[in-house]
Structure 1
Amino acid sequence: MHRQLFTVNAMSMQHSRPSISGKSRVRTGCRTCKVRRIKCDEARPSCQKCSSTGRRCEGYGIWGGQRSMESSHLASSRPSLKSNISTGPLHSLNDHDQACFSWFRHRTVGKLPGIFRTCFWDDLVLRACFEEPAVLHAALALGSVHKVGNSGCSMQLDDSHLPGDSEKFTLKHYNIAIRHMQPCLWSNSKTSLRITLIISMMFTCMEFLLGHYRTGEVHLKHGTKLMASLISPGDSAIDLETPRDAVDVELLEAFATMNLNCFLLGRGTLGMYRTLQSFDTQPLQAMFESMAQARKNLDWVLADTIRLTQRRHAMAMTNSSDANPPNDWVHHQRRIQTQLASWDKVFKVSRVSLIAQMGFGGQIAYLHLRLFHTMTSIMAATCLHPRGEMAFDAHTANFEAIIAQSQVFHDTIFATDFANTRLEHIQNATSFTADRGWIAPLYFTAIKCRVSHIRRQAIQLLGSTASREGLWDAEVVASVAQEIVRLEENPSCVPVIHPKDVAPDLADLSHELKRRVVPEERRISQVEVLLPNGAGDRIRIKIYRPEKGIRAKVFVREQDPTTGIWNSMDVDKSWSPKQSLQQHIICPS
C-alpha cells in the first residue's frame, strides 16, 4: 500500500482580496472586547478581560461566522459530540472511527500544543471536524498515529513492510482526507483555503510524529506558501489597514509559531512572524496580562534576533568572515537588547499573577519562557560580535543558567502531580508536542558553549528523556551535538559520553579539561542538519568553520544509523538544494 503525499501549488491558488471597510485598523480579539472597543488579551479559550469582569466571552469564531463559544471553560467550549453526530460528517463514522476521534479530541488536541494552549487546536480544528469531512478524516489519521505512539509502539507508513491494522487505518483516513480536500485545491474561496491550511498543519504534525521530518517539512513549506496567499492575495503587498478575520489570524499564528520553532533548527521561514508582528504594534505594557502575551512578545524579539544573525551569516559567506557589519545592523542589535531587558523587567513584575492565572502549568510556562529569554540574550549579544565564535566565552554564566533552568524545568515536570489534569501527558517520557520545549536551549548550549563540562551536561540532559518537539528530536540533536564537540575538541583527550546517560559524571573530567579553551581555528560557526525521514535513515550535517580573512570552510558529515559512526562526504554530491529545501541557518552565532 502506497502512501500519498499531499502537495499543493500555492502559486496556482487565486484568492480575491477582502474589501476594505474603513481606514481605521481593527485589532484582533474576541467579539466582546471588539464591541466594548478595548484591547483584548486574546487568552484562550476565553479572554481574561471578559472572565475577570464576569462577562461572557463571545470567542473568536470559525470561518468568520457569528458562532460564539458556549462557555468560558475549555471543556464546555468544545462542540458536543452527541448534539452534532446526527447532522455533521461524524454521523457516518463507525464505532472504531468514533473511538479514534474521541482519542483525538480528548488526548491529541490536549497534548500537541504543549503548555501553551492555542485556539487553533482547542477551537478551530475541533469545530472544523464537525463541519468539514476532509478535516475530520485528517483528525482520524493524526489521532491514530498519536494513539499508537502513546502506547509505546511505532508506526511505519512506507513500502518497507506489510502494513498492520493501525497503519491501514491511518492510510485509509489519510487518503480519504486528501480526496475530500481535492475540491478545495481548485476553489478560490477563502473557506476552501482555510480548510486546506488546517489540514496542512495537521499533516505536518502527523509526519513529525512519525519521524518523517523531511516529509513534514514539505507539508509545512506548502502550507506556508498558501498562508502567504491568504494574507496577501496575488502578488500585492500586505494591506495592514484591511480588517483581519480572527480565523486568519489564528492560522497565521499557528504557521508562524511552527516556522519559528523549525527555524531554530535551521528550517522553515521567519516571514510569517514578521507579518504577524506587523498586525500588532502595541507597546510593551507595565504588566503582561497572560503567559501567552508574554510569549508572543518574546517570540517577536527571538525572531528579530535570528533574522539579524542570518544577515550576518550571509555576509560571512560572501565576504571574509571578519568583515564589519553595517551601522544600521549594530543599531538593530542594540534595540533588540533593549527589548530583551524591558521584557525581562515586565516579566519579573508579572510573575506571581501569571503563574497563579495558569494554575498547574504556570510554573512550567514561566521556566520555559525564562529558558528562551536566556538563550535569546546570548544570541543577541554575540550575533554581530567582532570576535565571532570567541564571543561566546564571555557568556559562560548564562550557559550555566540554561543548564540550571533546564534541570529545574525537568524536575518540576516530574515532581508535579498532574494526574487527572490536561497536563498529565507531559510526564510521558516519549511525549511528543508540536510546540517547542527545552531541546533548543540545550542544543544551543551544547554547540556554542566551549566549556567542556557545561556542554556535556547539556548533551546528557538531552539524552535523559526521549522528548520530541515538532521538528526537534532530542536523540537526533544530542548525536549531532556530540559530533560537533568531538570535531572541536581533541578526540584523544575527551571521553565519549553517550547522550542517554542521565547524570553527568564530572569527576571523570580533569580540572585541565574543564578549564581548557577550544582554539578559534577549531570552532564551528554554523551547522545545518538534514534530518532523517524515518527509522533507519541517515543524519547529515553541513558544517561551517570560519577561516581568518577568507570565506568559511564548508564540509559535510553523515552518520551511519547502524553503527552511529560519522563519516565525511563530498559537499557538492551529498547536499543538494532539493535535499535541504532551501538555505537555512542553525543556532546562529
Structure 2
Amino acid sequence: MTPSPPSRSQSRSPRGTTGIGPLRSRRGCKTCKARRVKCGEEKPTCLRCSSTGRKCEYQGTVPLGTYSSAAASSVASLLDKPRSPSPNSSSSSLSSVWRERRAFAYYFQHAATFVGGLDVEFWSTVVPQVCQVEPAVWDAIIALSAMFEDREHNSNAPQRYTLPENRRDALAWYSRSVSAVRQRIERGGSDVFVGLISCVLFICIEALQGGTEEAIRLYAQGVQLIVALRAQIACGAIPARKGVLLEDTIVPIFVRLAIMALSVSGVSVQALMLETAQVLSGFASLKAAREAMVLLVMEAALFQEACESNHADMQYATDVPPELIARQAALFSRLRSWKAAFTTFLDYLRMKNGGGELSAQQTTTIALLTTYHEMTYTIVAICTSPRKTITDKHLHNFRNIVDQSRIALDASARSDGTQPPFTFDIGVGFPIWFTCLRCADPTIRREALALLRRAPQVEGFYGNATITVSAEAIMVIEESLAMAIDAHRARNQTLHTGGQVDTSHITMFDVNRFAVTLEGPNTNSNAITNTTLLPTLTVSDIPEEARIKPLVPFRPRDGVPPGLTRGAVERWGRAPDTWFLIFSRLDRDPVDGVWREIFDCVPAELES
C-alpha cells in the first residue's frame, strides 16, 4: 500500500489567534475552571492537570459514548506514552507531544463514535490497541482526529476562527504515517493486518480532506489486502481471532464502501461477498440487520448493471430475458425476508425496552435501514425497464425515503442542531442522492435536496457539497429539457399535425447556457439560477426524453468520452482542465420509432 504523501496547507492563523488550543466548551474540569485556563477535557484526567501534578475533577458526567474499561485503560496508557520521538527539554518538543496527546484524546472522546457508528468497538477499542505497538497507526489516528476537529470547527461555527495548526499537524502526522508504512513495505516486514487497518484510516483521512480519487485508490488496495489476509488466515499464518475481526468488522466496512465505489473503482466486490454469509431468517442486532441490508444493496447494484447491459444490447427495447426476471424475483423474495426479520427484531427491541423510547442511535439506524430497504426495492423494481418514467409508479417509495431520512437526521442531530462532519457508516446521503436522481416529482425532489444539505459533510468517500450541487444540477437539467421539448413540440404541432416529433437535436447549450459547480459551499445560490424553475411543474410534465442518466465527470484534457462529440464540449468555450458533467438521455426516432441514447454535457464549474 503506497498512498501519496499529502500536500501541506498554506493557511495562516487569523490575527489575534494563537492557533490550536484546548477544547472550548463548558465541560472542562473544575481545576482548570478555577485556574481560568482552557481544559482539554481528557478523561479521566485532563492533560493540563496530569502534566502539572494537579488533582483533576469533573462536575457530573459527560456522555462520551459506550467504551469498555479495557479501552479506557488503553487510552490512559497511550496518553502516558506518546508516539513522538523522546521529548527533550525544549518547549517545541513538549508542545508537539502535548498536541499529539490532545489529538488522541479528542479522537477517543469525540471522533470515534461518530466515525464508527455501529462499529464503535472497532474504532474505540481495536484501533487504539493496535496503535500502542504501531507508530504508523498512532500517527494515522491523530491525523484523522485533527482533520475531524478541523471539519467540525469550520462547518458548524463558520463565524469562529479556523484551526490552521490542526490542519498542519494533521498533514504532518499523516505524511509520517505514510512514510512509516512505506518503509515497512520496503524492508519486507509489513504486517498485512496492520496494513489493512492503516488503509482504513488513510481512506478516512483522504475523504476528510477532499481526496476522493485517492480514497478510492486506497479502497482498491484495501480489497487486495483483504484477499491476501484471507490467504494467510487459511494457511494458519494469522491467528483465528484476527480472522473473526476481519470478517465481522473490516470486510463489512469495505462492502459498505463498495456501494459508492462500484461504478468508479473498477474493483470487483464478488471476492468480498463470497465469504460473507447473508442471514435473513432473523437478526440478533441492528448491526446484523445492517450487514444483511448492505449485501442486498450490493446485489441490487450488480443486478442493475446486468439490466443496463441488456438494455444497450437490445437497443433499449422493453424485452426482459427470463434470467433477469428470475434474478429480480429472487431479490424481491430476499427483500421480503429481510423486512419480515427486521420487523420481528424491532418488536423484540421495543419489548426489551419496556415500551419506552429508543435511543437516538437506535432511532437513526432504524430509519436509515428503512430508507435503504425502500431504495433497494425501488432499484430492483425499475431497472428491468430502460424507460426512466417507470419511476413515476414508485413515488410512494421516494416519499418514504424522504420521510425516513428526515427522522434519521432529526435523531442524529446534536444539541445545536448540527450533524457530525463525517461518518464511515451508512448515512442518508446515498438514498437521498438516489431520490434526487430518479424521482422526477418536483416537490419530493426539493425536499430531498433540503435534507441532503443537512447531512454530514462527508459520508464514506464523498463530500456532501459535491453531491448536493450535482443533484441540483440534474434536477435543473431535466426540468430545462422538459420545458424546451414541450415548447418544440408545441411549435411543431402548430405547423404540422400528428406524428412523432424529433427532439434529439435539443441540447443544454441551446436550452440554458448555465454552469454548475461541483465544488465549494453547498449553499452557493449563484451556481444554478433556476432551482425553482417551474413551481407548478408536475411529474407528468417531464417526458422520457427529458429524463437523464448522469455519467462520470470528465475533463477535455483527458479526452472526450465515447458518445460525446468534441464540438459538444468546445461550444462552451471552456479551458481543457474544466470539469464537465456528462449525461445521456433516450430519444425516439420519429421515423422508425426506435429509442436511441444521445449524450450531452454541461460545464461543472463556474466561469472565473
Fold conserved between structures, TM > 0.5: yes
Task: Provide the rounded CA distance (Å) in 2 between the counterparts of 1:562 and 1:435.
Answer: 36
Out of 117, 120, 125, which is 2:119 matched to? 117
> Corresponding residue for 2:107?
104
1:346 aligned to 341, 344, 367, which one?
341
Which one-letter code corresponds to 2:264 in the other structure? Answer: R
What are the equivalent positions in structure 2 for 1:159-174 lying under 5 Å apart? Answer: 164-174=164-174
Alignment match, 2:29: none
Shift in Å, 1:119: 4.1
8 A contact 1:319–1:550 mirrored in 2? no
For residues 47-58 of structure 1, the aligned pairs below 5 Å read none
Query: How far did 1:334 drift?
Result: 0.7
- Structure 1: which amino acid aligns with 2:429? I
Q: What is the identity, as a one-letter code, of the residue corresponding to 1:75?
A: S
Aligned partners of 1:192, 1:104: CA distance in 2, in Å?
24
CA positional deviation for 1:390 = 2.1
Larger radius of gyration between Structure 1 and Structure 2: 2
CA separation of 1:488/1:118 partners in 2, compared to 1, >3 Å: closer, same or farther? same
SS of corresponding position for 2:119: coil
State the Cα deviation string for residues 341-397 of structure 1 (Å, max 9, x = none): 111122112214346677331111111101111111100111113x52121111111
Are 1:267 and 2:264 counterparts?
yes
In structure 2, what is the Cα distance between the partners aligned to 1:233 and 1:312?
37
Task: Supply the distance in 1 between the matched residues of 2:116 and 2:429 (Cα, whole angstroms).
Answer: 16
- Residue among 567, 578, 584 paired with 1:544: 584
Gaps of 5+ in 2: 7-64, 88-96, 157-162, 485-511, 526-531, 556-576, 589-593
* Residue of 443, 460, 463 corresponding to 2:450: 460
Partner of 2:439: 449
Q: Distance in 2 between matches of 1:305 and 1:98?
A: 44
Distance in 1 between the 2:283 and 2:423 partners? 25
Q: 1:162-201, aligned counterparts within 5 Å? A: 164-186=164-186, 192-201=191-200
Tell me, yes or no, if structure 1 residue 438 matches structure 2 residue 428: yes
1:50-79 alpha-carbon deviations (Å, 9 max, x no partner): xxxxxxxxxxxxxxxxxxxxxx96231314
TM-superposed CA distance for 1:282, in Å, is 6.0
Residue 82 to residue 556, structure 1, CA distance change in 2 (3 Å): same
The DSSP-based 3-state class of the residue aligned with 2:597 is strand
One-letter amino acid of the counterpart of residue 172, structure 1? A
Match of 2:142 in 1: 140
* Pair 1:102–1:88, CA change in 2 (3 A): closer
Q: Tell me, yes or no, if structure 1 residue 129 matches structure 2 residue 131.
A: yes
Instruction: Report SS of the residue matched to 1:463.
Output: helix
Matched residue type, 1:152: N
Identity of aligned residues (%): 19
Question: Equivalents in 1 of 2:454, 2:82: separation in Å?
Answer: 45
| Corresponding position of 1:476 | 466
Q: Deviations over 1:65-99 (max 9, x none)?
A: xxxxxxx9623131423345667847847222111
| 1:150-165 correspondence runs (5 A) | 150-152=152-154, 164-165=164-165
Structure 1 residues 547 and 185: alpha-carbon distance in aligned structure 2, compared to 1, 3 A threshold: farther
The one-letter code sitting in structure 2 at the alignment partner of 1:362 is Q
Residues 105-155 of structure 1, C-alpha deviation per residue, up to 9 Å, x if partnerless? 2222122123x225432333111111101111111211111122222179x
Specify the alignment match of 2:214 in structure 1: 215
Specify the SS of the correspondent of 2:315.
Answer: coil
Following TM superposition, by how much is the alpha carbon of 1:430 offset from its aligned partner in structure 2, in angstroms? Answer: 6.0
Q: Partners of 1:388 and 1:244 in 2: how far apart?
A: 47
The residue number in structure 1 matching 2:76 is 82
Q: Structure 2 vs 1, CA of residues 430 and 88 (structure 1 numbering), >3 Å: closer, same or farther?
A: closer
1:26 matched residue in structure 2:
none
Secondary structure of the 1:546 match is strand
Contact 1:227 1:252 in 2 (8 A): yes
Q: Does 1:279 align with 2:307?
A: no
In structure 2, what is the Cα distance between the partners aligned to 1:515 and 1:260? 28
Deviation at 1:323, TM superposition (A): 6.3
Contiguous gaps of at least 5 residues in structure 1: 7-71, 155-162, 503-507, 532-536, 564-589
Per-residue CA distance 1:229-277 (angstroms, 9 max, x = gap): 333479x99xxxx9981233233222222222444xx4346744x4444
Deviation per CA, 1:506-526: give whole Å up to 9, x if none: xx8978522533111221134
SS at match of 1:113: helix
Superposition pairs for residues 387-466 of structure 1, below 5 Å? 388-414=387-413, 427-429=417-419, 431-464=421-454
Q: RMSD of aligned C-alpha atoms?
A: 3.8
Larger mean CA deviation between 493-502 and 290-299 belongs to 493-502
CA contact (8 A) 1:84 1:90 kept: no
Structure 1 partner of 2:256: 257
Question: Which runs of structure 2 are paired with 1:282-361 in the superposition (5 Å)?
Answer: 283-285=279-281, 287-322=282-317, 324-354=319-349, 359-361=359-361
CA distance in 1: counterparts of 2:321 and 2:406, whole angstroms: 39
How far apart, CA to CA, are the structure 2 residues paired with 1:136 and 1:314?
A: 45
| Alignment: residue pair count | 457
Paired residue secondary structure (1:74): coil
- For the residues of structure 2 that align with 1:186 and 1:430, how far apart are their CA atoms? 38
Pick closer, same or farther for the CA change 1:283–1:471 going to 2, 3 Å.
closer
Change (3 A) 1:244 1:470: closer
TM-score for both structures, normalised by structure 1:
0.68
Aligned residues of 1:529 and 1:542 also touching (Cα < 8 A) = yes
Q: Distance in 1 between matches of 2:601 and 2:340?
A: 43
Higher relative contact order (CA 8 A, sep 6+): 1
Query: Given that residues 546 and 553 in structure 1 are in contact (C-alpha distance below 8 angstroms), is that contact kept between their aligned partners in structure 2?
Result: yes
Q: How far off is 1:337 after superposition?
A: 0.6
Aligned-partner SS, 2:395:
helix
Paired with 1:459 and 1:176, the residues of 2 have a C-alpha distance of 39
Closer, same or farther in 2 for the Cα pair 1:81/1:325, shift >3 Å?
same
Structure-2 change in CA distance of 1:176 and 1:248 (3 Å): same
**C-alpha distance in 1 between matches for 2:186 and 2:313:** 42
